[in-house]
Structures are given as structure tokens and as C-alpha cells.
Amino acid sequence: MKTESLGGFDRFRVPAALLVIAIHTGPLLSLNGEANYLLTDILARIAVPFFFSVSGWFLVPRLLREGRAALIPFVKKLLLLYGAAALLYLPLNLYNHTLEESGFALLRDVFFNGTFYHLWYFPALVLGACLVYGLLRILGPRWAWLPALLLYAAGLLGDSYFGLTAALPPLRAGYEALFLLFDYTRNGLFFPPVFLLLGGWLALRPARRSAAWYGAGLLLSLALLTAEGLLVQRLALARFDALYLCLPLCVGFLLRWLQRLSLPSAPALRGWAAAVYVLHPWCIVLIRGGAGVVGLTGLLVDNCLVHYLAVVLLSALLALPFARIRPAPSPRSRAWIELDAAALRHNLAALGSLLPAAASLMPVIKANAYGHGDLEIARLCAGAGADAFAVATAAEGVRLRRGGVRGTILVLGYSGPELAPLLARYRLTQTVVSTEHARALDACGRRLAVHLKVDTGLHRLGIPWDDTQSLTAPYSCSHLRVTGVFTHLADTERLDEASQARTREQLRRFRAAVDGLRSAGHAPGTVHFQGSYGLLNYPGLPCGCARPGIALYGVLSAPGDATTAVLPLRPVLSLRARVSQLHTLAAGEAAGYDGAYTAHRPTVLATLSIGYADGWPRTLSNGAGRVLLHGRTAPIVGLICMDQLLVDVTDMEGVAPGDTATLIGRDGDAVLTAEEAAQAAGTITNELLSRLGPRLKRVVLP
């Protein structure tokens, strides 16, 4: 799977950082005031919107997929950086006596304007990200643009076009009141939202034109920006000049042009450019002070161009250590899982269509979301509106809570009384499987929400359906609050008459148990009994919710499973691995452990960086399993090892180290399904997927 490199974004961070320095130093003032205005007050104003839009490129798709779970770590990181930068400039603030301002002025600077003149960027980005999250959540991606554009327009009237506002006394009075809180309208309320959304919008849509086409658009938009800026100057409209009508157009063309250049990534430039941005005001102070000490003020300060170059040089040198900070290895460097967020949302909607109007889905996230990744799947489901989840163990529930997942989390399995403090602390809803279990939990003295498990014929866990006394006993427990009642249907996968009769009998028993609770004066709470096959084969039954597991992930337990409801479910998971090396074997030469494979002709083998320690079954050795390379099938040969396996690519041209092999998923027109792999391994899809291990990084695709 080829992805377009965004190395152009990395490289443009350098001129963007240098343009910010130019804004704060005026490099052309000594030469020509008009030229300096053109550079610093017009063209350089593209730098900060570029940074905002790049943030939106990566943030907005995650907000759409994961919601609040994507926002919180983003904001925490920004606040940490902001705090560190504020401490860095504390000595200068103390020297300038800025901390002696009123409490209101100090709070205003901390939350909106920044504690130093360039640090406004951090609270602005935090506020902008929170606003965008709220707009996306309330209005959706299509309509979120409207208030963002209106806010930007309001910002324009308080910034470059304030001259128009000043002519209208009521409007002017409103802005002057606003400026008691904000120094400028470039803050997070007016400036960042439109650029964050712009970056996200571009990220979610393919670039359909060439780099040359977008480059021409960029030049034209810069010309329009220049004309607009000169007009604003000529008419003396600006109170401040950071916002222009043409800026979003310029930034849009810039991002597309950089994207289509497809330059290799340059992660070192990311940390370096950020450090230059943060450090350069200190460098201005140091150069001005140092120049005075050595008597070079005329050269290093009064000569604006030399002053600018000196600040750039010092900032670049001081930022060098930050260029050595390397990000974590790419999740696609060895073997990985890709999660199709759009497919998951589609499956949620499709399965939800089988429920009665008042019912909802409770996605089953146990066993690491059937190998898909529990936090990733839970966050995606929450972003799609799910507010209840099912897990197998208390530990799984705790992991979701610690990962920021809200709503009901039902622990389907048994939890002993020793776990009651954990259940209470993390607000987990525990399944009660017997009267003794209920009383043991109650004796712990912790207030717990519980669901009653009713045994209607599976005979694994639960209170017998016809034991009314035992069913009602948990209601008398002073520390337990019964919020639901459920059962598990044993034979919904098959549609033969005997299986249907068994299911009907289980449903009858469950209804009798629930009716018995109501007759005894107890509210059953949320009533649920359907898993994936129960929902697919018995749709529309009255219930409070349904618990889809395997079907949620777009697959069935075995190939060819027939269901009453035929839904166009989409597989969520693809499994891929890298080709690490090629080997040429002569006829008769053996390969792999135990010489399990012998070449019958001159053979080329490719080594894939995945094995049974990643969860790929060893039973798929020696031709039982296959993979896709370059859109064609290649058989697995020899014994699958702990960390690697071999495939025969003799009949394929162009296979090379670094190529991507697909074990589950699509490669061109060819597809390998999880159901097919499970059948070849002698198991069911549920087991095959659930065994996919934590070494496999999960990559969420929009």
C-alpha cells in the first residue's frame, strides 16, 4: 500500500520559522520600508496559518475517528510545551516587570495572549482545537465550516479590516470591549479554527491535480494576497495585519503543492523548526545585549538585515539539539494492522438498522477488540456515538477507562470480590452470575452497578432462569444497583430447525425471567440477549441493546455462514508485513527449520517479518497459508517461525526488500479474507483475529 510522503511539510517548516523571525526583526527596514512591509506584514503572514493547517491535517481526521480521546493527548502535549516555554521566558518577564500587572491582565495573558509576545500560538492552538472538536461533534464536518468562517470574518473586521469596523460606532464598541480580553483577533477564537479545518479537509480528500498545477495556484493566490495587503495599507484599514481574506486560499494551495512534491520525510526538521520558533525572542535579546557590550550595536542591531541574519544564525545553532530528537519507529516498519475507520462506522450503522427504534448497540471490545486494538476500536465507536461497551475482564475495562473511554463498560465475565474496589474506582458495571456472587460483592461495601446474567441454556455462567428467588436476591443487596439483565444465546449461528427451536426456547425462558422480575416489583434495566449472530439471524426483537462482536469487525466466524439478514459488512482489519530479504535456492536445496521445504526448481523466497509470536498460526506452514504481493498470491513455504515466515515469489517479478505483503486484506484486485485464513488454519475467525498480538502496531485509516 503506497502512501504519499509528506516530507514537503517538514521542509517548509524551515522557511516558515524564518518568516516568523522576519516578522519580529524587520530585516528590510534599513533598506526599504515598503519592501519590509511586503515581506513581514503580507507574505510572512502565511507562516503561522501553515503551522495551524499542518496541525489540522493530522488532528481533524483523528477527531472525527476518535473524538475526545484524540483531543485530550493533543491538548496535554501543547500545554506541556506552553508551560516549558513560559518558564523559559520567566526571567525576561521578571526583568520587564510584566508579572506585576493586575491579576486579570496576567490571567488574560496566560489563557489568551501568551506570557511572551510569540507564545500566543500555544493557547490559541489549544482553544482552536477545542473549538473545532466541539463544532465537529455538534455540527459534523460539513457544517463545522460555517461558524469557523464566520469567526474568521469577525477576526478580519477586528484586524486587517478594522477601519471598516471603526466607521460603525456600535460595532467598534463591541470590538473595543472584546480587546479588553484579547490583544488581537489572531487568538484561538477567531484565527486557528478555519485553518485547522482546512488542513483536516485537505487530508481527508485526495489531491487530484499535479504539483505544477497547485504551484501555479499558489503563485496566483500569493499575488492576490499581495494585492490585498497593499490595498489594506493604502486605505489604512488595519489595526493589526495578521488576517487576510486570501490567506486560507494561499495555505490551501501551499499544502497541496507540498503534498504533491512527495518528498521524503525529514523528522529532524520538525523539532528544529519548533525550537527556532520558541527560542528566537531570547536570541533577539541576547544579540541586542551582546552587541551593546562589545560595541557592535551599529552593525548587529541598527543594520536590520545583519540583525536578522544574526538572530537566525543563533536561533538555528541553539535549536540544533532538538533536531536530534527522533520520533518513534514507523508502525509500518515491520508488521502492522490497518484499521478502516470508515468500515467500522459503516458496520455500526448497518447493525444498528436491525434494532428496534429505541435500542442501541453495545460493541464488544473484549480480547483486545478481537485483536483489532481495544482502545482504537472503542474510541472509534465512541466517536460514532456508542456510549456502552462490553469487555470480558475487569482489567480490560480498566484499560479502556485509563484510555479515556467514557460511558457504560460492562464486564461480561466473573470478577471476584477482591476486585470490587477496582470496579468501583473505574465505574465498571459488573456481571452478577449467582446469588453468592452478588452477596460477596455486596459485602465489600462498594457501590457497584451490576447486570444480572441469566442462564437460559448455555450453562456457562448465570442464575437459572426459573429460580425467581435467586434472580431477585441481588435487588436486596444494599451496595448493588441492578441496571440490566441479559443472557447469552447458545445456537444462533445455525439456522436448521433444531437450532432455531433451541434459540426460541432460550428466548422464551429469558422473557419469563424478565417478566418474573417485573412481577416481583423490580425494574430489569437494560435488557439484552443478542450477539452478532443473534442480531443477524433474529433481527428486530425487542431489546434495550445488542452486543455485536465479530460482526462489528465486518467478518463472520466461518466462510459461507448464511444469515437471515444479509448486510454489506466491511472488514475493518488488514494485516500486512514487510519483505525483509530475498533468497535464491537451487533445485534440491532446503530452507527453514527442519528442512521442511525443499525447492523442486530454482526458487526465489521472500522473508516476511511476521511469525507466530505475532499471532499468525503455525498451522499455516508449508502451503496451507498464502499472502498477497503485488496483487498476486504467494504460498507460505517451510515452517512459520516465531518472528518470520517464508513465501515463494519465484513467479513474481519486481519483488524487493521493503515491499508490503498482505496476509489479510486487499492488494489491488486480490483479496485474502480473515475467514479464509481461519479455515485454512483449522479454526474460526474469532480465534484467528483474537490471537493477533501487541507487537503488531495498529494504524487507523480514515
Catalytic residue set:
366, 593
At which residue does the C-alpha cell 489479510 appear?
664
Distance in angstroms (rounded) separating the CA atoms of residues 554 and 346: 9
CB of 8 closer than 8 Å to CB of 259: yes
Start-to-end CA distance of the chain, whole Å, equals 15
Q: Which residues contact 500 (CB under 8 A, 6 or more apart)?
A: none
Distance in angstroms (rounded) separating the CA atoms of residues 553 and 443: 39
DSSP state letter for 21:
H
H or E segment to which residue 312 belongs: helix 304-323
> 504: alpha, beta or left, given left = phi > 0 and alpha = psi -120 to 50?
alpha
Distance in angstroms (rounded) separating the CA atoms of residues 39 and 48: 14
Question: Residue 410 has which C-alpha cell?
Answer: 460492562
Question: Residue 406 has which C-alpha cell?
Answer: 467514557
Largest CA distance in the chain: 99
CB of 457 closer than 8 Å to CB of 499: no
Nearest to 158 by CA among 238, 71, 47: 238
Q: Which residues contact 610 (CB under 8 A, 6 or more apart)?
A: 334, 335, 575, 577, 616, 643, 644, 645, 663, 696
DSSP state letter for 294:
H
DSSP state letter for 153:
H
Nearest to 159 by CA among 37, 227, 243: 243
Cα 80 from chain centroid? 20
H or E segment to which residue 344 belongs: helix 341-352
Number of residues written out for the chain: 702
H or E segment to which residue 391 belongs: strand 388-391
Question: Residue 431 has which C-alpha cell?
Answer: 456481571
Report long-range pairs for 552-555 (Cβ below 8 Å, ≥24 apart). 552/344, 552/347, 552/348, 552/351, 552/361, 552/363, 552/364, 553/344, 553/347, 553/369, 553/370, 553/372, 553/689, 554/343, 554/344, 554/347, 555/673, 555/674, 555/675, 555/685, 555/689
CA angle 29, 33, 35 (to 5 degrees): 95
Question: Which residue blocks in 111-144 are alpha helix, DSSP H?
Answer: 121-143
DSSP state letter for 364:
B
CB of 488 closer than 8 Å to CB of 431: no
Distance in angstroms (rounded) separating the CA atoms of residues 90 and 329: 35
Q: Which residues contact 153 (CB under 8 A, 6 or more apart)?
A: none
Q: Which residues contact 284 (CB under 8 A, 6 or more apart)?
A: 24, 25, 311
